[in-house]
């Protein structure tokens, strides 16, 4: 989820500079002719505009316009790009019915901007007033995000406030539709850096959203899918003070999975993982605290599936998402007639009831008890026991 959020944020930041260059160049060229108001079509045959379009892989309909209205002390600027598209890796990765930009520039700042730009070919961003960008019904494809350049840059005090809003959008990953999204970003934009001040992101899954997409976000899950699956999520994540060092992110949402199958890479202990079938999962998150309930059947390969329909595994408890990338788990696992086998020798197996508590985040503390009902292949039959163990999800020094 967080990877997806970061990808979406990077996408909108990557297009911001395109709008700014349009507005500065055209405003500087035309401000002396503005009376009560002027409207111009954006001429894509203009060498400067054509060069910007090619540089940023941006295209738009020829009916796109710029409106300039002169007031006593400033010029209000409104740009409307119709049928706008931005390409990446020779493929469309964002498009919208229209994209609008609004801002105001004082006459003094227009003069200073123009003079500095034509002398140095650089923009004094601190002279630009607050800029608002709105995308209507955008279609966003995150397939090529991994190829986008990223990295830390030096902070620059030469910036201006930028807000970007997109609503009723559709999110794709390649040919797979993820669902609907809306996003709001408040940024301090400079020449070489975009500093996010606050944001809000809503994502609602498509009705045919594939379960495997969720499964691939978790390292310990090798497969999560079934032909009868039903998956739905509706997530809102916002951060009203992103620029601080404190954890101010707030997560709300729901996740539901029905009638699917989960294959794990391994259990937290050295046991051979069997598929969890008839899996149903509910996760309800309110202000970073998630209440989770999972029901499923851990299959016994020595018993026919049609005789194992009743759920025999339940996981319940809470997940604290205050640190969204490293949630804290406080879960209880109850199992009845659970089949187990050793990883290194599946001939050593058995049936047990179990109760396990799981707590922690990067390193999980496991504690529980086993009620052994049957054991096969062991020199000495297994007996009931308690145990304590640890399972590493993420090493402390991992980045």
Residue 109 backbone phi and psi in degrees, to 5: -70, -30
Is the C-alpha dihedral spanning 266, 315, 260, 282 positive or negative? negative
- Answer yes or no: is pLDDT of 36 > 90: no
Phi-psi region of 87 (alpha: psi -120 to 50; beta: other; left: phi over 0): beta
**Among 22-26, 104-108, 169-173, where is mean pLDDT lowest?**
22-26
Evaluate whether residue 218 is within a structural domain.
Answer: no
157 contacts: CB under 8 Å, gap ≥ 6: 126, 190
Q: What is the DSSP letter of 145?
A: G
Pair (139, 236) in one structural domain: no
Residue 72 has which token pair? 């006593």
Nearest to 252 by CA among 268, 237, 273, 270: 237
Pair (273, 386) in one structural domain: yes
pLDDT digits (tens, 9 = 90+) for 44-58: 777 767 776 777 678
Q: What was the pLDDT predicted at 184?
A: 94
Evaluate whether residue 102 is within a structural domain.
Answer: yes
Evaluate whether residue 71 is within a structural domain.
Answer: yes
Q: What is the pTM of this model?
A: 0.79
Last residue of a domain, one of 209, 238, 258: 209
The number of distinct structural domains making up the chain is 2
Q: What was the pLDDT predicted at 132?
A: 92
Nearest to 80 by CA among 100, 58, 107: 100
Evaluate whether residue 332 is within a structural domain.
Answer: yes
Evaluate whether residue 352 is within a structural domain.
Answer: yes
Pair (266, 344) in one structural domain: yes
Nearest to 213 by CA among 267, 174, 157: 174
Q: What is the mean pLDDT of the chain?
A: 81
- Answer yes or no: is pLDDT of 326 > 90: no
Evaluate whether residue 215 is within a structural domain.
Answer: no
Evaluate whether residue 216 is within a structural domain.
Answer: no
- Answer yes or no: is pLDDT of 147 > 60: no
**Among 33-37, 217-221, 250-254, 278-282, where is mean pLDDT lowest?**
33-37
Pair (244, 324) in one structural domain: yes
pLDDT (mean) for 185-206: 87
Q: For residue 268, what are the domain limits?
A: 223-399
Last residue of a domain, one of 209, 243, 268: 209
Q: What was the pLDDT predicted at 360?
A: 93
Pair (241, 128) in one structural domain: no
Residue 386 has which token pair? 């308690």
Pair (232, 175) in one structural domain: no
Question: For the chain, what is the radius of gyration of the CA atoms?
Answer: 28
342 contacts: CB under 8 Å, gap ≥ 6: 270, 271, 272, 348, 349
Last residue of a domain, one of 178, 209, 240: 209
Pair (198, 247) in one structural domain: no
Residue with tokens 């809003």: 165
Evaluate whether residue 185 is within a structural domain.
Answer: yes
Pair (139, 254) in one structural domain: no
Q: How far is 253 from 288, CA to CA, in rounded Å?
A: 9
Q: How far is 333 from 315, CA to CA, in rounded Å?
A: 5
Chain center to CA of 172: 12
Pair (50, 193) in one structural domain: yes
Pair (271, 137) in one structural domain: no
Pair (242, 387) in one structural domain: yes
pLDDT digits (tens, 9 = 90+) for 62-119: 888 888 787 777 888 888 889 988 887 667 778 898 889 898 888 788 778 777 777 7
Pair (81, 181) in one structural domain: yes
């Amino acid at each position: 989820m967080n990877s997806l959020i970061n990808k979406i944020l990077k996408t909108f930041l990557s297009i911001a500079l395109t709008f700014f260059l349009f507005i500065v160049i055209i405003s500087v060229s035309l401000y002396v002719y503005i009376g009560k108001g002027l409207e111009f079509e954006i001429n894509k045959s203009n060498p400067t505009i054509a060069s910007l379009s090619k540089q940023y892989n941006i295209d738009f309909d020829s009916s796109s316009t710029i409106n300039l209205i002169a007031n006593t002390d400033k010029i209000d600027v409104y740009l409307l790009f119709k049928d706008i598209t931005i390409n990446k890796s020779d493929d469309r990765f964002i498009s919208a019915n229209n994209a609008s930009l609004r801002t105001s520039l004082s006459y003094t700042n227009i003069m200073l901007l123009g003079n500095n730009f034509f002398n140095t070919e650089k923009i004094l961003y601190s002279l630009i007033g607050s800029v608002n960008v709105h995308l209507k019904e955008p279609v966003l494809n995150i397939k090529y995000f991994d190829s986008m350049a990223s990295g830390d840059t030096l902070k620059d005090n030469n910036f201006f406030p930028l807000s970007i809003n997109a609503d009723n959008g559709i999110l794709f990953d390649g040919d797979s539709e993820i669902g609907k999204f809306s996003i709001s970003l408040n940024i301090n934009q400079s020449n070489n850096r975009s500093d996010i001040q606050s944001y809000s992101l809503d994502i609602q899954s498509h009705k045919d959203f594939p379960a495997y997409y969720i499964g691939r976000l978790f390292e310990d899950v090798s497969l999560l899918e079934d032909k009868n699956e039903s998956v739905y999520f509706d997530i809102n994540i916002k951060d009203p003070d992103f620029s601080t060092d404190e954890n101010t992110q707030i997560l709300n949402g729901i996740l539901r999975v029905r009638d699917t199958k989960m294959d794990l890479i391994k259990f937290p202990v050295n046991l051979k993982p069997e598929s969890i079938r008839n899996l149903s999962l509910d996760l309800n998150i309110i202000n970073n605290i998630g209440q989770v309930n999972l029901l499923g059947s851990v299959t016994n390969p020595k018993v026919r599936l049609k005789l194992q329909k009743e759920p025999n595994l339940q996981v319940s408890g809470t997940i604290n998402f205050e640190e969204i990338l490293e949630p804290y788990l406080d879960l209880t696992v109850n199992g009845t007639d659970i089949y187990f086998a050793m990883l290194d020798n599946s001939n050593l197996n058995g049936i047990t009831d179990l109760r396990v508590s799981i707590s922690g985040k990067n390193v999980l503390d496991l504690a529980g008890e086993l009620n052994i009902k049957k054991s096969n292949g062991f020199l000495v039959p297994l007996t009931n026991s308690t145990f304590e163990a640890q399972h590493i999800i993420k090493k402390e020094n991992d980045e």
